[in-house]
Amino acid sequence: MNSDHQPKLLILVGSPRRDGNSMALGTAAQRGAQMAGTAATLLVLDDYIQHFLPDLRHAPAPDDRYAELFLDHFLPAEGVLFCTPLYWYGMSAQTKAFFDRSFSHYAGSGPEPERVKAAMAGKRLGLTVASEETYPGAVLGVVHQVQEFARYTHADFVGYVHGAGNRRGEIAADPRTPLLAAEMLGAEFFTRKYSDYRLETPRSHNVWASPPPPAAPRG
Ligand SMILES: Cc1cc2nc3c(=O)[nH]c(=O)nc-3n(C[C@H](O)[C@H](O)[C@H](O)COP(=O)(O)O)c2cc1C
């Protein structure tokens, strides 16, 4: 990336409700990104995905707009935020189909899968999950799945937001302020500190540039 290049954020909403809680989280993230001067596009998966991965995985492609979504929006984006409702302790079928259908584009040999794999790699990824239940464990399966996708694609999984609501837009009433957290995630998508150590990783003792002063001795 050269220094003039402005990274692009793609926000993918995986709920069939266009005015639901996932959309509220996605639009909050988009608002935050735009306030930070980041170009952010929000798309609804239902507009692009009408089919599951077919038996013949490579051809013919199902008759919907997945190829446009994957090739023209997902691949060029430096950052992608997945906004899914929690369905049966997992991601929505729309969101899962997004990942499954990518197989048709990157699997196999030849120049096109190689180009696709190179463009899939190295993104910043984020996640929001809207659920009815409030306990943190309810969404961990989704978090883990996106974490593994990030590992597989050499991506940086920079953050996730979990909020609770059931009625459309009710997530705004969650006292843990998930909409604010989503706005901050959008704003910091490309600047938030990301660290993931290995044994040999050089590191300093401080995580942050200006740590708080040491605690005063107790008298
Ligand atoms: C098919 C289905 C399955 C659901 N499964 C769960 C669940 O396992 N746990 C939970 O907390 N909420 C569950 N919910 C509730 C939704 O996660 C909740 O209503 C969420 O806010 C919907 O987000 P949306 O408004 O973006 O569609 C389920 C809802 C549906 C329709």
Domain ranges (residues) in the chain: 8-187
Give the distance (Å) from ligand 1 centre to CA of residue 178: 16
Residue 46 near ligand 1, beta carbon < 6 Å = no
Residue nearest atom 4 of ligand 1, based on CA coordinates: 87
Residue 213: predicted pLDDT = 74
Question: 119 CA to middle of ligand 1, Å?
Answer: 32
Q: Are strands 156-164 and 124-131 parallel, antiparallel or unpaired?
A: parallel
Most confident of 1-10, 89-98, 206-215: 89-98
The pick from 83, 131, 174 for probing ligand 1's pocket by mutation, whose C-beta has the most ligand atoms within 8 angstroms, reads: 131
Q: Closest ligand 1 atom to the C-alpha of 86?
A: 17
For the cut 80, the answer to whether the pLDDT of residue 20 exceeds it is yes
Class of residue 179 by CB neighbours under 10 A (exposed 0-12, middle 13-18, buried 19+): buried
- Distance, CA of 124 to CA of 81 (rounded, Å): 8
CATH class of the structural domain 8-187: alpha beta
For residue 201, count CB atoms less than 10 angstroms from its CB and return exposed for 0-12, middle for 13-18, buried for 19 or more.
exposed
As a whole number of angstroms, the distance between CA 186 and CA 127 comes to: 11
pLDDT grade for 55, boundaries at 50, 70 and 90? confident
Distance CA 29, CA 187 (A): 7
